[in-house]
Amino acid sequence: MTDKSAIILAFIITGCSILGCQGEKPDSDPISSAPAVTDQHGSHGPHGGTLLELGTAAHLEYLHDATKGRVTLYFTGSDAKSPLDPDQPPTLVLSAEGGPVVVRLEASTAAATYAASHDALRSDHPEGRISVTIAGKTYNPDLEQ
């Protein structure tokens, strides 16, 4: 490429850049105009636990009592109000010193409520995941602290 060709090419690129960027702002900001999913229902459920979204299909309220070594899970639909039973009882997969511990939750007398007790849950901040299947789809959210 000759010096003359390089200069012409530089002018063409600069001209296209200037024409393409006219300083106009879009009518709306696509990022900020979309509703924030986490603000939709708040971060706490009706039982005082942490509210987690399970895709767009369901919500899970997670309550942990370290003194009793107990976890209670409440499942609701997309509205975060209507009880919604998972396809099968959920499990917890906890990180422990001797390796992973699987804790199976049992159905409670209340609709869409499951609970379990285990020594590994006596920690103030148990580490692990919840495994639950709803409408044929499996979700594995981290335990919230």
Question: Which is more confident, 14 or 60?
Answer: 60
Count the domains in the chain.
1
Residue 23 covered by a domain: no
CB-based contact 114:132 (threshold 8 Å) = no
For residue 106, the domain's CATH number is 2.60.40
Report the C-alpha gap between 93 and 99 in whole angstroms: 10
pLDDT at 100 over 80: yes
Residue 12 covered by a domain: no
- Write out the DSSP string of 14-36: HHHHHHH---PPPSS-HHHHSPP
Name the nearest CA neighbour of 60 among 92, 28, 96, 33. 92
Residue 93 covered by a domain: yes
Question: Which is more confident, 5 or 127?
Answer: 127
Question: Which is more confident, 35 or 113?
Answer: 113
Residue 114 covered by a domain: yes
pTM (predicted TM-score): 0.68
Residue 18 covered by a domain: no
CB-based contact 105:117 (threshold 8 Å) = no
Burial of 64 (0-12, 13-18, 19+ CB in 10 A): buried
Burial of 134 (0-12, 13-18, 19+ CB in 10 A): buried
pLDDT at 40 over 70: no
Sign of the C-alpha dihedral computed for residues 56, 61, 66 and 70 taken in this order: negative
Contacting residues for 3 by C-beta, under 8 A, at least 6 apart:
none
Range of the domain at 56: 37-139
DSSP 132: E
Residue 13 covered by a domain: no
Residue 102 covered by a domain: yes
